[in-house]
């Protein structure tokens, strides 16, 4: 089970451990974004710090409808205690968790300041 909180900025935030290509690990707060159908976005400084291997480019449609091309990297995340291979898009802003990583899970939110966020694996 993964736990987090809802912030005063109305964001559901969990902590995610990301494993780099040289086995370096960083634990970072990430925002749940149900409008993002990918696995994960990471800022450039975190991609560089973890030495993530480049995996190509991907076109993405942003919330405002604009289409951009983003660099894609291979990463490993610890998800419900298990290491999981994911594709991470390098994007400006803070790290986001998308629906591809959440797939197969139940997400429960109490949408008030400090409200609990719980992610459970579906049976």
Burial per residue of 56-80, b for 16 or more beta-carbon CB atoms within 10 angstroms, e otherwise: eeeebeeeeeeeeebbbbebbbbbe
pLDDT at 65: 87
Domain ranges of the chain: 2-121
pLDDT per residue as tens digits for the range 63-94:
788 999 999 999 999 999 999 999 999 999 89
Query: pLDDT band at residue 51, thresholds of 50, 70 and 90?
Result: very high
Please, which residues have CB within 8 angstroms of residue 12's CB and are 6 or more apart in sequence? 4, 5, 6, 31, 32, 107, 109, 111, 117
pTM (2 d.p.): 0.92
- Helix extents (H) in 14-77: 44-49
- Check whether domain 2-121 has CATH 2.40.70.10, yes or no: yes
Mean predicted confidence (pLDDT) in 12-27: 92
């Amino acid at each position: 089970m993964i736990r987090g909180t809802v912030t005063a900025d109305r964001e559901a935030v969990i902590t995610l451990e990301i494993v780099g290509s040289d086995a370096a690990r960083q634990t970072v707060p990430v925002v749940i974004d149900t409008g993002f159908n990918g696995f994960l976005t990471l800022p450039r400084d975190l991609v560089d710090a973890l030495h993530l291997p480049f995996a190509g480019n991907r076109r993405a449609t942003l919330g405002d409808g604009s289409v951009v091309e983003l660099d894609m990297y291979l990463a490993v995340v610890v998800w419900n205690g298990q290491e999981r291979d994911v594709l991470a898009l390098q994007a400006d802003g803070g790290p986001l968790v998308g629906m591809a990583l959440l797939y197969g899970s139940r997400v429960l939110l109490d949408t008030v300041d400090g409200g609990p966020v719980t992610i459970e694996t579906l049976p």
